[in-house]
Amino acid sequence: MKSSIAKFILACPLLLSIGCSFYARDPDAYRDVTRELVDSRSTDVKECYDVALQTNDGVGGLVVVNFMVEKKTGRIMSPKVDETASTAPAELGQCVVSAIDGLQLDPPDARDGMATMSWDFSAAPPVQG
């Protein structure tokens, strides 16, 4: 019995140090790593635009998305299109939200983070020839 208690006492500080570890980024690093995370879905975001172009070759505009990065998990939480700042069609904005939803910073940060990201979509002008 004593040996198992001793093992627990020795293991406890190790578990606490692992459980209590955190990463604290400065604001610039937090912004950069969050942008990098969101950019990891750039193919999905481009696909949103490509699909929108199939029904309207002149579609475009600005999509602005606000979200929180949860401190415990690093997960993007509650992404939502900022309707007052966005000019693109709602369907395009919702597709972008779906594309970034569920992303997760690794390692998470010690603080919750509030973020605003934007994408400016515009069709290439027709080639004059």
Domain-located, residue 129: no
Q: Provide the pLDDT for residue 14.
A: 40
Cα torsion 22, 28, 31, 37 to 10°: value is -70
Tens of pLDDT, residue by residue over 18-37, are 444 567 888 899 899 999 99
What is the SS3 assignment for 102-126? CCECCCCECCCEEEEEEEEECCCCC
CATH number at residue 34: 3.30.1150
Residue 46 lies in a domain: yes
Q: Structural domain of residue 114, as residue ranges?
A: 23-121
CA atoms within 13 A on the CB side of 96: 30
Number of domains into which the chain is organized: 1
pTM, entire model: 0.78
- The number of residues in the chain equals 129
Over the stretch 35-52, which tens digit does the pLDDT of each residue have?
999 999 999 999 999 999
Whether 15 is covered by a domain: the verdict is no
* pLDDT at residue 21, as a whole number: 52
* pLDDT digits 0-9 by tens, 60-83: 999 999 999 999 899 999 999 999
83-128 pLDDT, tens per residue? 999 999 999 999 999 999 999 999 998 988 999 999 999 976 666 6
Please give the torsion angle defined by the CA atoms of residues 122, 120, 35 and 105, in that order, rounded to the nearest 10 degrees.
-80
Predicted local distance difference test score (pLDDT) of residue 125: 65
